Structure 1
Amino acid sequence: MAAAHAQSDIAAMADLPLEQLMQMQVTTASRYEQTALEAPAAVSVVTADDIQLFGYRTLADVLASMRGLYVSYDRSYHYLGTRGFATPGDYNTRVLLLVNGVRFNDNVYDQASIGTDFPIDLDLVERVEFVPGPGSAVYGANAFFGVINVITRDGRQLGGPQVSTEAGSHGYAKLRFSVGATDAQGSDWLIAATRSTARGADQYYPAFDAPASHQGVAHGLDYDRSTQLFARMRRDGLTLTLAHGERTKGIPTAAFSQVFNDPRSRYIDTSTRMAAEYTAQWQPTLAFTARLHAGRYQYVGDYVYDYPPVTVNRDVGTGQWWGTEWQWVSTAFAQHKLSWGLDYRRDTRIAQRNDDLDPPAQYLDTRRNGNVLGVYLQDEFALRPNLTLHTGLRWGQQSGSAGALHPRLGLVYWWDAATAVKLLHGTAYRPANAYERDYRVNLPGGVVDTTNIRSERVRTTELAVEHAPTGATRLLLTAFRSGVSDLISLDSLGHSDRLTFNNTRTVKVHGLEAEAEQRWAGGRRLRVAYGWQKARDPSTDAALTNSPRHLLKLQWSDVLHAPAGWGWNPGRYAIEAIGIGPRNTVLNARLPGHVLTHVTYSTRIADVDVSLGVYNLFNRRYSDPASFEVREDALRQDGRTYRVKLTYAF
């Protein structure tokens, strides 16, 4: 019964007319619920049904399917590109990652983890929202180019115990066990544990290959092992959440000038997040939300160097913090929806160490703590029945940086009942994080001393038109223009084995995005998204590294129909094509564009949900630009891979 109930929920989502989907509530744009058409942003949403239908394996896969976004991979971490901007090796510091509205970026590197280091299994995700553009007026730092909000599922949506297993190419295997239930007191519970491992394929790097020796192969170093634990409880306005993840990743690239092909080279990421949220309707016109959250993140990197002698160097970054958020939303004044609040975070520990293990030697030992404070006010003002003015202002300050005011303005005009025109303007900032400020290790692959680093700033203006002429059709067209000043970049400083952080340049970005979606009765669906962007340094008129001019996304899915009398559900299939235009590398080489095609098929056999996926169907050879810490200028990506997934609900 539980399995049938879960399947009926997914089928119902797939059959919803688009008119109803457009009225689905989103929370990320304004920190309170509103429909996608009402929100002062061109919000992208991927649902649990999309995740299952297209066989997404990581949060990076989900984001890569969205309009205007693209993902790069350096065999260690996944990096998100937003509207033509994706500085290699920046650890996604310019996007804010939320889970159920709570910040997930750590306080050492400000990293938004979107690959296998993201600590929540995608099977537990209800939807992912992405709001493009600067969001500092609402969220503060890191909301520079956009905000990702991952909304997790509740226990009732799983409807009982569930076990899922996966197997795939390169020794990939995954096992998840979860329980979702509601008790007699009305509490909703979800508990899940996931373990995954991948052997990985041997990787060939020409830069380490002596002529005719074939020594440039990293054997068994692309492995990936992770553990995820998740628990969530909801009752009477109170929600408690725990997420814990551990990942060990081999380093086949010999990044940061390491000895090549040494099995001791690896990264370990460990993160724990806890959050408590309380919501209450104090009055018919006044809602209140309070959150208390805490987290710990630790990075351990083992790097193998030949000084000589050959020595393991251990790099450790540890961050601990707690924080609170208070928000009020009022509709007491006619034609106004006011929201205001306070965000506070206490960084109790930010520590970075760098040591040789044998013979012992220490090169770095820094410790700091600090505070982050922000207060904000927003107003949603209905100037006329078909015209709404969105205004917002936030003051924010964190230790080591000056306070700053950031405004937001938005006009949403309803041309008619099916068409919304949105004119949006906002600013954002990003202070240097602890890694950029404190990490100074004068070793091969290390970062040497730099000048004082100023906060980055961005200003963006956007015009968007969203049109839903029928309940089955959605069209979107948006144009944007951004200016970035005091960009913080990782550079080689003219040395082959030393790096530095500096405010290097100003960047101008402008572009267009278009998206069309059509649904037909019976479950057939088509979505096409195209993005054109031009990101340049005005002083040189040169294109940025890893900045494609063109992005194309195409999705097609349909329900297979069995002949009369079969008595068996043949299931659904989905095809996704993702095209990325040519990109420059750090050394100004030009990588050709490519199109990747993925095919998935899902059905139910004897109470078991079955999903089969083929990724990079046509075995397309392609590479992503590498960062300065990698000796290769471009990194070859995986060819055709396979995955089979079985899920059984008790």
Structure 2
Amino acid sequence: MTRSPPCAGSRRLALGMCLSFAWVGGTHAQADVAQLPLEQLMQMEVRTASRYLQSALEAPAAVSVVTAEDIRTFGYRNLAEILAGMRGLYMSYDRSYHYLGMRGFSTPGDYNTRVLLLVDGVRFNDNLYDQAPVGTDFPIDIDLIERVEFVPGPSAAVYGANAFFGVLNIITREGRQLKGAQLSTELGSHGHARLRFTLGTADGYGGDWLVSASRSTTRGEELYFPAYDTPGQNHGLAQRLDYDRSSSLFVKMRREGVTLSLSHGERAKGLPTAAFSQVFNDPRSRVVDSSTRMAAEYAGQWGPALHFTARLHGGQYRYVGDYVYDYPPVTANRDIGRGRWLGSELQWVSTAFQRHKISFGLDYRRDLDITQRNLDLAPEALLLDKSSRGDVLGIYLQDEVALRPDLVLHAGLRWGKHSDSKGSLHPRLGLVYLVGPATALKLLYGTAYRPPNAYERDYRVETPGGVVGTDRLRPERIRTTELVLEHAPSGASRALVTLFQSRVSHLLAIGDAPQPDRLMFSNAGNSVGVYGVETEVEQRLGPDVRLRLAYSWQRARDTLTRETLANSPRHLLKAQWSTAIGNADAAPWARGRLGLEAIGIGARNTLASRLPAHAVANLTYTTRLAGTEVSFGVYNLLDRRYADPASFEIRGDSILQDGRTLRLKLTHAF
């Protein structure tokens, strides 16, 4: 295989971005937005980068944002599809869970433990697997999302563990935005159906209320697996096992600085892959996820120079996996995981000192229960029964110092400790130079860690496909340096280029054990180097047309062997285009908005071979008929055949993905 030298690729990207900046600047001049006031030039504000509100241009990060308008325009059906369209991110799907890849890094078998998921600023990763649910297991309906913010790079100095490769914050809608009741229904390919009812209102006492319930079912399709193509295993055809059934409830209330929220979700997913050495095509094979999370927040101004935020949150997560094995005899095995926790957060943000914005706070989580059980159902035999408790404590301090009117230093330090590991310090440094009111140059440095979670540390089952004992596991660590050039002259134009380099040590992953048909967790002896370039250009060509292009070149490889990691594409290309269709004289159905999205992913190594590059396109048309919003989407428009890498627990090294699918969605407001 011929490889381009890294410096050559960087020169090409740099030249391309220079041309892109020139193009954005030219169209900006044509639009005559130079007359806009400064507050519009500074455009969107973000909260995730520093845990308080600041302009995206001044934030010590290259923040990506997807809005509710984007979700409607491009017909996103779940959180995974939103993330797949964002700069530098890519998704994999193993017919059970969706996995998020960042900057060329997506270890097969990792349950999204290296990204911290927040909902309205509150941690959403569970305390058992540390999993960030980003697919159909995400328990909040996609229509309730107001915006998604993603901050790439390690953020342990701000958020602690799991903020390893990035932080994802889902900001939900307010009741006053709906102003009444809303009913949404949709039908799609593979027996898909979904129903949502939402009520949003603002009462006469300044309170804001949102209540929503959803139910979704998908029959799925019959799937062919070459690894099982024998007469005794239905010739590799898995039937009626790709189903997905989920329900969710979300309640949110806000009044006078106090916010209360409740989310509950349940999902049952069939397992067509016969993962973990199961009997193939057995209808009993499935996983069930259920979670409940509650949060209470108070935010208020304690004087002219001090803002205070306090949060209490708690939740529980339960996983039940039914697996079927031929020991012999054929036996149903049940795997149960349960986690319960309570947490609190306190944060003060002070501007009492001239040219300083100081934030300091404390995060604490009490793991009330972490239980893992595994048993054969008939004849009954208990194979694992492990329970534990623990504490997680973090104390952090940040200072945003205006060294000059055009130069800001961000310095942060966090001390964190898990009850089963030693305490550690993690710094963050960011230097933001405002070249002008619309351009910023950012030099960023940060570190992060991820201690082994309860599943990696304690799950041990001596059965086929089970996880066996290993040496004491060490926390993963990462340090990253990043250079960002961002140009945002208005809400209509934006261009960005990012160069990054990371080093990951003690990488923790699942792999084959010395015993046959067994798996084990272990730390890699060699470190992993990750480096690359991300670019993005966004332009609104008038009031009705929008274009966004994003390209990433990245490499993640073992620093000793120089081998590229599995599921690590060299190239990512994203293109989004949307425009208004029709005019006032057109028929009602011919007046709407058209959204076209194309996603290209470069070739990827699997655990045993290599998958070719592929590209898919999605097309969505949205209009209004008699007060009802109608959305029609075609996904994988050209019916491309492609696959994602599979992890160790699945026989075969790739999982075929869906061909062309359709969806019709109707939303009516009362």
| TM-score scaled by length of structure 1 | 0.96
Give, in angstroms, the shift of residue 521 of structure 1.
Answer: 1.9
Which of 238, 258, 265 is matched with 1:218 structurally?
238
| Distance in 2 of aligned mates of 1:261 and 1:279 | 52
Q: Which moved more, 1:267-276 or 1:413-422?
A: 413-422
Deviations 1:172-221 (A, max 9, x none): 00000010001111110000000000000001001000279962100000
2:594 aligned partner: 573
1:172·1:198 contact (CA, 8 Å) conserved in 2? Answer: yes
1:544 and 2:576 correspond? no
- Cα 1:96–1:21, aligned 2, differ >3 Å: closer, same or farther? farther
**Partners in 2 of 1:567 and 1:155 — Cα distance?**
29
1:156-175 pair list within 5 angstroms: 156-175=176-195
Task: Pick from 146, 159, 173 the counterpart of residue 139 of structure 1.
Answer: 159
Give the counterpart letter for 1:82 in structure 2.
M
Which residue of structure 2 aligns with residue 564 of structure 1?
Answer: 585
Following superposition, the deviation at residue 538 of structure 1 comes to: 1.2
Partner of 2:616: 596
- Judge conservation of contact 1:95–1:142 (CA < 8 Å) in 2: yes
**Which of the residues 205, 214, 223 maps onto 1:185?**
205
1:477-526 deviation per Cα after TM superposition (whole angstroms, max 9, x unaligned): 01000000000010112555200000013100000011001102222000
Deviation at 1:22, TM superposition (A): 5.6
212 and 25 in structure 1: CA distance in 2 versus 1, 3 angstrom threshold? same
Unaligned runs of 5+ in 1: 1-14
User: What residue number does 1:5 align with?
Assistant: none
Secondary structure of the 1:215 match is helix
Greater mean alpha carbon deviation, residues 470-479 or residues 71-80: 470-479
Q: Is the 8 A contact 1:401 1:431 kept in 2?
A: yes
Q: Look up the match of 2:362.
A: 342
Partner of 2:550: 529
Q: Deviations over 1:209-243 (max 9, x none)?
A: 02799621000000000000000000011000000
1:569·1:604 contact (CA, 8 Å) conserved in 2?
no
Distance 1:647 1:20, change over 3 A: farther
Match of 1:618 in 2: 638
Aligned match of 1:125? 145
Determine whether 1:491 maps to 2:511: yes
8 Å CA contact retained: 2:616, 2:637: yes
CA–CA distance in 2 between the matches of 1:197 and 1:608?
Answer: 23
CA-to-aligned-CA distance 1:331-371 (integer Å, 9 cap, x gap) = 01000000000000000000000000110001100000000
Q: C-alpha distance in 2, partners of 1:100/1:495?
A: 45
- Alignment partner of 2:437 out of 414, 417, 434: 417
Q: 1:469 Cα shift?
A: 4.2
Q: 1:460 aligns with which of 480, 492, 506?
A: 480
Q: How does 1:83-98 map to 2 (within 5 A)?
A: 83-98=103-118
Distance 1:566 1:639, change over 3 A: closer
Match of 1:405 in 2: 425
Distance 1:206 1:214 in 2: 11
Q: Which residue in 1 is equivalent to 2:416?
A: 396
For residues 575-612 of structure 1, give each alpha carbon's deviation from its aligned partner in whole angstroms, at most 9, with x where no partner exists.
0000000000012x110000010000000000000000
Query: Does the CA contact (< 8 Å) of 1:601 and 1:612 recur in 2?
Result: yes
- Contact 1:95–1:145 (CA<8 Å) still a contact in 2? yes
How do residues 173-252 of structure 1 correspond to structure 2 at under 5 angstroms? Answer: 173-210=193-230, 215-252=235-272
Between the aligned partners of 1:210 and 1:77, the Cα distance in structure 2 is 27
Match of 1:66 among 86, 97, 102: 86
**1:159 Cα offset (Å):** 1.0
Contact 1:461–1:481 under 8 Å retained in 2: yes
Q: CA separation in 2, counterparts of 1:28 and 1:473?
A: 22
Give, in whole Å, the separation in 1 of the partners of 2:233 and 2:274.
Answer: 18
2:657 maps to 1:637: yes
Judged with a 3 Å threshold, the aligned counterparts in structure 2 of structure 1 residues 568 and 501 are, in CA distance, closer, same or farther, namely closer
Match of 1:431 among 446, 451, 454: 451
Alpha-carbon separation, structure 1, partners of 2:588 and 2:475? 63
Using the alignment, how far apart are the partners of 2:588 and 2:351 within structure 1?
53
Distance 1:606 1:475, change over 3 A: same
> Structure 2: how far apart are the matches of 1:212 and 1:640?
31
The 1-side partners of 2:42 and 2:263 are apart by 30
> SS where residue 50 of structure 1 aligns?
helix
Deviation at 1:309, TM superposition (A): 1.1
- The answer on whether the counterparts of 1:562 and 1:568 sit within 8 Å (CA) in structure 2 is no
**Using the alignment, how far apart are the partners of 1:613 and 1:185 within structure 2?**
41
What is the count of residue pairs matched by the alignment? 634
Q: CA deviation at 1:562?
A: 2.6
What is residue 536 of structure 2 aligned with on the other side? 515
Instruction: Classify the secondary structure of the residue corresponding to 2:204.
Output: coil
The partner residue of 1:296 within 316, 322, 327 is 316
Q: 1:53 to 1:471 in 2, by over 3 A?
A: closer
The 5-angstrom pairing of residues 379-394 of structure 1 reads: 379-394=399-414
Cα RMSD of the aligned pairs, angstroms, is 1.5
Sort the Cα spacing of 1:613 and 1:21 in 2 relative to 1 into closer, same or farther, 3 A. Answer: farther
Residues 233-286 of structure 1 show CA distances to partners (whole Å, capped at 9, x for unaligned) of 000110000000000000000000000000000000000000000011010110
Amino acid paired to 1:183: D
Of 464-473 and 275-284, deviating more is 464-473
Give a deviation string over 1:103-155, Cα, whole Å, max 9, x none.
Answer: 00000000000000000001001000000000000000000000000000010
- Counterpart of 1:10 in structure 2 is none
Cα distance in 2, alignment partners of residues 167 and 471 from structure 1: 35
**For each residue in 1:87-117, what CA deviation from the matched residue of structure 2 results, as whole angstroms up to 9, or x when unmatched?**
0110000000000000000000000000000
Q: Could you give the per-residue CA deviations for residues 11-41 of structure 1, whole angstroms, max 9, x where no partner exists?
A: xxxx9x8994862221100000001101000
1:268 and 2:292 correspond = no
**Structure-1 separation of matches of 2:656 and 2:598:** 19
For residues 515 and 610 of structure 2, the distance between their equivalents in structure 1, rounded to whole angstroms, comes to 23
1: CA distance between counterparts of 2:515 and 2:96?
23
- Checking the alignment, whether the CA contact within 8 Å between 1:432 and 1:453 is kept in structure 2 is yes
Query: One-letter code of the match for 2:530?
Result: V
